[in-house]
């Protein structure tokens, strides 16, 4: 007994002398217990049998304590309090969660339909985290449990990946290109000796062989398996989950049984996209694709690694040789892809070309797809299956593109930068990645649809905009015939539209969208919870996939943690409740807008209608439907490089009318007024076939006070773009009687934006960005205001001769600025008469 008392006395004395050490010791013990419990639970989750419909694993003890504490002090909502006092005489109805939407082409107006249909018993299954491998019950043994990842890669289905270099260099197309280039070079010389020609011919043959060596892929089954095992160990270091739908995987397996090459077309957000796609396909026993990669990734070690994982390297620009077209390179690339398709390889490439810098899908590049379309048309392959893929990240692994958006030059990839980037990634938390595979559809069916059924829509604008393909791309050269270019453009836009509208909305996207566009001055946590609930309901109504679930308070806290204090600040309000505020200053706001822009495809057309609405004369509070539609069509024309507003097989005007009806019925922005006028045909549809014409009465709308706030909210979504286009138009006066390099012009426009921002003329900090400026310059070029001359990767801009004056620049500026004007922001135009 005395020994126990002495021990307690010593402990008490030490605690009195060194209290900090004891506090830290107890804290470490608690953390150690939490770590051990989490490890035990993770081990249980790994080996215990799982229900295929089970969504979440068992929570850790620390998580349960945290949730219990938060729920204990959580202020009940108004609805919850009302429910406590509600008298329930009947059994409450059971709320059934909505079925998970399966991405298909069912809403498409063209004849393209998926070649495979969802498996009924899988469409309602829970999402699958592919980082958590669970061996089949019949194959479970001690080795599988201890070396589960090694066992997984060993049991994968083995494929052969034939090399096609030998057939490429012997192809008649390549031989003809070599001879053609040699003849052109020989004619440029003053020497007519045959020996000179033979020397040129030999040099071009060697160059063709070198181009092929630099381009080709060396896809290796062993390297795929080894890399897969390594990724099983590395991905959990910085990712919580990589999520796919089991029905999507089964759909791809069924499609692969057709023995047709599958063309995977993912949205491009990160360099991790290359490896992620191959990792998912390989571990689900689907043939890994060859991946078209930019030659900027052909760096020491990593270039060879990517080549062994399926990458073949192509030039971003096909630069001329000695002032002539590089026929040899184009022939090598075209023939290499044809031979790969003929050999049965699947192919993956990014229609957008490079990674998006804004978070919105980029406009498609047509080069590689045009080669595949030509291969189907000329009979090189029987058919191919296009598979649109949507990839979204809770936090972008590549960092951000703020430097580039502020006009600084892109940093080229090097071995040192790759090592540094990998080290930073492995010591960070990037949350979850969601991958959604769309339903595969036949390329032959799409070609026939757009080619013979007259479904390629005619321009709905008064002015026909002609396409000016680059002479430095495959699409702008003789590789693609002119009659097939419209088909390639329509298919490309169709795919991008489908990818954008099936992309899952992550928690970081939703929180960033609300904070940047609705609560820029900050918001209380409870109000943000209510707004997130409302946003999720609206997204579900728009048939968008939601990439988060659970209690909204946990979702918001998790998103804030992922985004970090550089983008979102969390403070204590006057009543000691959490107050959330976005960092809306440059340059942080540009990165925050990247995550917010993932939702712009949901609201782009609604925002266009709202902006068009406020550009009209609204003094009477009444608007003609035809005026609203025409203004919306014109604004869609101006924003054609920012969004694809509808599928190429659909009528844009019909989509606008449908969106107006939704704003009237669901959000009560308008009240429909009776009209006794006879029916008329919209002037915008005079060039559309009879079956495509939209006939309606020239109805009128009265603005409702009930939808006033929502109308202002919609208007604000695209106003940063309108401001950027307006300032760019006003800056074109600098080109009167002079030429300016693109970099200098963009820099001057950025400085003008910053000046207007500091003076208060520019209202949105996110307007100060390079991408919308360059898109505006493309628009003014296609509107025949600007001309551009390209030489040695430099672009010179100048005004066309017939508009080389200040008056023409002013007219263009006024056309854009009418949508930016704030003089019509008068709340009195909204009627309080709710008559329907």
d(CA 629, CA 613): 9
d(CA 536, CA 811): 42
Q: What is the average pLDDT score of the chain?
A: 80
Structure token digits, residue 771: 């991408």
pLDDT digits (tens, 9 = 90+) for 568-619: 998 887 778 889 999 988 889 999 999 999 999 999 999 999 999 999 888 8
Q: Up-side HSE of residue 341: CA atoms within 13 Å toward CB? A: 26
What residues does 242 pair with on adjacent strands? 433
pLDDT level of residue 687 (50, 70, 90 thresholds):
very low
Structure token digits, residue 13: 């004395």
Q: Where are the beta strands (DSSP E) in 315-427?
A: 347-348, 385-393
Token pair 């070309």 is found at 353
pLDDT level of residue 553 (50, 70, 90 thresholds):
very high
d(CA 108, CA 785): 35
pLDDT digits (tens, 9 = 90+) for 621-656: 788 889 999 999 999 999 999 999 999 888 999 999
The mean pLDDT of 3-24, rounded to a whole number, is 59
pLDDT level of residue 691 (50, 70, 90 thresholds):
very low
Q: Which residue has the higher pLDDT, 62 or 268?
A: 268
User: Cα dist. 158→61, 287, 602 in Å?
Assistant: 42, 9, 41
Residue 386 phi, psi (nearest 5): -85, 130
Residue 568 pLDDT? 93
Residue 645 pLDDT? 93
Alpha-carbon torsion, ordered 207, 210, 216, 221, to 10 deg: 160
d(CA 482, CA 716): 40
d(CA 303, CA 296): 9
Residue 825 pLDDT? 46
Residue 795 phi, psi (nearest 5): -110, 130
Residue 47 phi, psi (nearest 5): -105, -20
Distance between first and last Cα of the chain:
88
Q: Is 448 exposed, middle or buried (0-12, 13-18, 19+ CB in 10 A)?
A: middle
Q: Is 402 exposed, middle or buried (0-12, 13-18, 19+ CB in 10 A)?
A: middle
How many other C-beta atoms can be found within 10 angstroms of the C-beta atom of residue 761? Answer: 12
Separate counts of helices (H) and strands (E) for the chain? 30, 20
The mean pLDDT of 85-113, rounded to a whole number, is 50
Choose the weakest-confidence range: 75-89, 284-298, 508-522, 817-831: 75-89
DSSP label at 799? Answer: E
Contact 416, 530 (CB under 8 A): no
pLDDT digits (tens, 9 = 90+) for 34-51: 667 666 766 655 555 554
Give the closest residue to 503 by CA, choosing from 63, 204, 10, 101.
Answer: 101
H or E element, residue 581: strand 578-582
Residue 491 pLDDT? 92
State how beta strands 385-393 and 441-442 pair: antiparallel
Residue 574 pLDDT? 75
The mean pLDDT of 770-793, rounded to a whole number, is 90
Residue 623 pLDDT? 86
Indicate whether 415 pLDDT > 90.
no
d(CA 93, CA 508): 33
Residue 786 pLDDT? 92
Token pair 């076939």 is found at 689
Contact 402, 590 (CB under 8 A): yes
Residue 155 pLDDT? 82
Give the closest residue to 751 by CA, choosing from 743, 642, 590.
Answer: 743
Residue 791 pLDDT? 79
Q: Where are the beta strands (DSSP E) in 371-477?
A: 385-393, 432-437, 441-442
Indicate whether 686 pLDDT > 50.
no
Alpha-carbon torsion, ordered 598, 392, 365, 812, to 10 deg: 10
How many other C-beta atoms can be found within 10 angstroms of the C-beta atom of residue 762? Answer: 21
pLDDT digits (tens, 9 = 90+) for 205-263: 999 999 999 999 999 999 999 999 999 988 988 899 999 998 899 999 999 998 899 99
Question: Over the Cα atoms of the chain, what is R_g?
Answer: 30
The mean pLDDT of 330-346, rounded to a whole number, is 92
Indicate whether 423 pLDDT > 90.
no
Query: Which residues are within 8 A (CB) of 665 and not within 5 positions of it... i.e. 6 or more apart?
Result: none
Indicate whether 115 pLDDT > 70.
no
Residue 28 pLDDT? 66
d(CA 742, CA 747): 8
d(CA 242, CA 235): 9
Indicate whether 477 pLDDT > 60.
no
What residues does 568 pair with on adjacent strands? 582
Indicate whether 386 pLDDT > 50.
yes
Structure token digits, residue 77: 């909502």
d(CA 249, CA 128): 10
Residue 88 pLDDT? 46
Tell me the percentage of the chain whose pLDDT exceeds 70.
74
State how beta strands 290-294 and 347-348 pair: parallel
The mean pLDDT of 260-288, rounded to a whole number, is 92
Residue 454 pLDDT? 47
In b/e form, how buried is each residue of 472-510, taking b as 16+ CB within 10 angstroms?
bbbbbbebbeeebbebbbbbbbbbbbbbbbbbbbbbbbb
Contact 728, 749 (CB under 8 A): yes
Residue 143 pLDDT? 64
Indicate whether 813 pLDDT > 50.
yes
pLDDT level of residue 341 (50, 70, 90 thresholds):
very high
Angle at 659 between CA 653 and CA 660, to 5 degrees: 90
d(CA 737, CA 760): 31
Give the closest residue to 311 by CA, choosing from 344, 283, 285, 350.
Answer: 350
Structure token digits, residue 130: 């592919």
pLDDT digits (tens, 9 = 90+) for 701-741: 777 777 888 999 999 999 999 999 999 999 999 999 899 99
The mean pLDDT of 193-201, rounded to a whole number, is 86
């Amino acid at each position: 007994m005395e020994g126990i008392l002495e021990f307690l006395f010593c402990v008490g004395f030490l605690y009195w002398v060194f209290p900090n050490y004891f506090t830290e010791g107890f804290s470490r013990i608690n953390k150690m217990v939490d770590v051990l419990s989490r490890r035990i639970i993770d081990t249980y989750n790994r080996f215990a049998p799982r229900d295929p419909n089970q969504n979440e694993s068992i929570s850790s003890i620390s998580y349960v304590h945290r949730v219990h504490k938060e729920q204990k002090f959580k202020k009940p909502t108004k609805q919850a309090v009302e429910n406590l006092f509600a008298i329930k005489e009947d059994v409450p109805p059971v709320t059934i969660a909505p079925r998970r939407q399966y991405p298909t082409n069912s809403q498409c107006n063209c004849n393209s339909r998926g070649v495979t249909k969802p498996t009924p018993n899988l469409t309602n299954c829970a999402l699958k985290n592919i980082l958590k491998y669970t061996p089949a019950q019949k194959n479970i043994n001690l080795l599988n449990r201890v070396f589960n990842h090694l066992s997984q890669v060993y049991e994968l289905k083995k494929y052969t990946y034939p090399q096609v270099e030998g057939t490429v260099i012997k192809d008649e197309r390549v031989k003809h290109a070599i001879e053609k280039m040699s003849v052109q070079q020989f004619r440029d010389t003053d020497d007519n000796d045959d020996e000179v020609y033979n020397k040129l011919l030999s040099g071009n043959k060697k160059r063709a062989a070198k181009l092929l060596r630099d381009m080709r892929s060396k896809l290796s089954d062993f390297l795929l398996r080894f890399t897969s095992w390594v990724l099983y160990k590395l991905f959990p270091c910085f990712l919580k989950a990589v999520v796919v739908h089991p029905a999507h995987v089964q759909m791809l397996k069924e499609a692969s049984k057709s023995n047709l090459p599958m063309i995977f077309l993912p949205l491009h957000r990160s360099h991790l996209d290359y490896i992620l796609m191959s990792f998912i396909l390989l571990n689900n026993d689907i043939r890994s694709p060859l991946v078209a990669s930019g030659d900027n990734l052909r760096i020491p070690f990593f270039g060879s690694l990517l080549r062994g994982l399926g990458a073949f390297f192509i030039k971003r620009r096909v630069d001329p040789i000695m002032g002539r077209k590089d026929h040899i390179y184009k022939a090598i690339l075209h023939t290499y892809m044809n031979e790969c398709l003929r050999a049965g390889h699947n192919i993956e490439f990014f229609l957008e070309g490079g990674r998006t810098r804004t978070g919105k899908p980029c406009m498609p590049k047509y080069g590689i797809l045009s080669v595949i379309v030509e291969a189907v048309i000329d009979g090189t392959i029987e058919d191919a299956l296009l598979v649109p893929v949507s990839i979204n990240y809770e936090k972008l692994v590549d960092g951000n593109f703020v430097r580039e958006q502020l006009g600084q030059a892109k940093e080229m990839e090097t071995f040192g930068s790759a090592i540094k980037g990998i080290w930073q990634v492995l010591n960070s938390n990037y949350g979850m990645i969601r991958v959604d595979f769309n339903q595969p559809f036949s390329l032959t069916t799409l070609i026939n649809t757009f080619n013979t059924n007259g479904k390629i829509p005619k321009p709905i604008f008064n002015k026909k905009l002609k396409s000016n393909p680059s002479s430095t791309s495959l699409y702008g050269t003789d590789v693609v015939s002119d009659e097939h270019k419209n088909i390639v453009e329509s298919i490309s836009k169709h795919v991008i539209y489908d990818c954008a509208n099936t992309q899952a909305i992550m928690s970081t996207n939703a929180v960033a969208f609300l904070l940047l566009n609705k609560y820029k001055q900050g918001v209380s946590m409870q109000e943000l919870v209510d707004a997130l609930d409302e946003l999720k309901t609206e997204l579900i109504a728009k048939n968008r996939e939601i990439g988060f679930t659970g209690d909204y308070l946990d979702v918001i806290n998790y998103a804030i943690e992922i985004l970090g204090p550089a983008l979102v600040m969390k403070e204590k309000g006057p009543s000691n409740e959490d107050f959330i505020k976005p960092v809306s200053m440059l340059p942080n706001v540009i990165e925050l807008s990247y995550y917010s822009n993932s939702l712009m495809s949901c609201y782009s057309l609604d925002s266009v209608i709202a902006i068009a609405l406020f550009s009209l004369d609204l003094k009477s509070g009444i608007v003609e439907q035809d005026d609203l539609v025409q203004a919306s069509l014109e604004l869609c024309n101006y924003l054609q490089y920012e969004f694809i507003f509808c599928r190429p097989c659909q009528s844009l005007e019909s989509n606008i009318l449908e969106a107006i009806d939704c704003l009237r019925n669901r959000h009560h922005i308008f009240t429909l007024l009776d009209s006794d006028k006879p029916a008329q045909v919209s002037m915008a549809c005079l060039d559309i076939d009879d079956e495509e014409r939209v006939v309606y009465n020239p109805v009128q709308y009265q603005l409702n006070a009930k939808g006033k706030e929502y109308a202002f909210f919609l208007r604000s979504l695209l106003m940063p773009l309108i401001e950027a286009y307006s300032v760019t138009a006003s800056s074109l006066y600098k080109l009167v009687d002079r030429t300016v390099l693109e970099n200098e012009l963009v820099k001057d426009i950025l400085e003008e934006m910053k000046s207007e921002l500091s003076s208060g003329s520019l209202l949105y900090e996110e307007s100060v960005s390079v991408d919308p400026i360059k898109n505006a310059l493309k628009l003014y070029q296609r509107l025949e205001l600007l001309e551009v001359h390209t030489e040695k990767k430099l672009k010179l801009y100048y005004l066309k001769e017939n508009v080389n004056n200040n008056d023409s620049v002013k007219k263009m500026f006024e056309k854009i600025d009418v949508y930016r004007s704030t003089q019509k922001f008068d709340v009195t135009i909204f009627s309080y008469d709710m008559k329907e």
